[in-house]
Amino acid sequence: MTVNNRIILKKEKYLMLNYLEKKLDYKFKNKTLLNEALTHPSFQKKSLKDKTTNNQRLEFLGDSVLNLIVTEHLYRKLTSFSEGKLTKIKSVMVSKDILAKWADRLSLGKYIILGKGEDSTGGRNKLSILADCFEALLGAIYLDSGLQKAKKIISSFINKETELIMKGKYGEDYKTLLQEISQKKMKCLPEYCLIKEKGPDHKKIFCIEVRLKKIIYGSGTGENKKEAEQNAAQNALKKLKITK
């Protein structure tokens, strides 16, 4: 259901907000906060009786809440990463591109209340508008229920993004991390050993073990050696309690 930027009937607005709450798995105590989080500055009030304000102040608050949550998450999750690497990863995770992707997972574009002009020029799909709305939504949740609830709501987004980072999407990978850890803590380099290959030539599966000081720390499979090595390194990191 796309928001009609004419006069929105109370019942229609209630249903619209209810759909989004189901996606969030969160029920707002103060529905005004949710409505405000979805209201873009381009939307013009229809009368003096309309008390709706736009989402800029909530966006400002949500930006700070997001930075705190992401910073703490990375600090606790990536215990071996330097300050420089953590800063680099954080900058990616709070970027407009990532926030817009998270907003898209919630289909926020369907619920944003836009001015007629902005709506007609594709505002619902603009990265900046989606990202700002996501931050405003987080700010609204923070005001409605506090920091812990805000953390819980976005934990799945952050955890998934961290996994992508660890798999090499943003310049880090399990093999590199394992090498850094093993050099630092065990004064050795990982050794990857091909254990077996199975399946037909056109669809082989490779099985690889990774050893540190001749002790097996993990094994992994993959459709090529590189993938199998990454999976083996990931399992080794789990054994070392670096990742979950």
Angle at 36 between CA 32 and CA 42, to 5 degrees: 150
Q: How far is CA 195 from CA 173, 211, 229, in A?
A: 22, 12, 11
Q: How far is 168 from 185, CA to CA, in rounded Å? A: 22
Closest by CA position to 106, among listed 26, 223, 49, 8: 26
DSSP-assigned letter for residue 67: H
**Letter for the amino acid at 218?**
G
Does 36 appear as a known binding residue? no
Does 135 appear as a known binding residue? yes
Instruction: State the DSSP string of 150-170.
Output: HHHHHHHHHHHHHHHHHTTTT
What are the two backbone dihedrals, phi and then psi, of residue 192, each rounded to the nearest 5 degrees? -100, 125
Does 72 appear as a known binding residue? no
Q: Which residues are known to be catalytic? A: 63, 135
Q: Which residues are annotated as a binding site for Mg(2+)?
A: 59, 132, 135
Residues contributing to the annotated binding site: 59, 132, 135
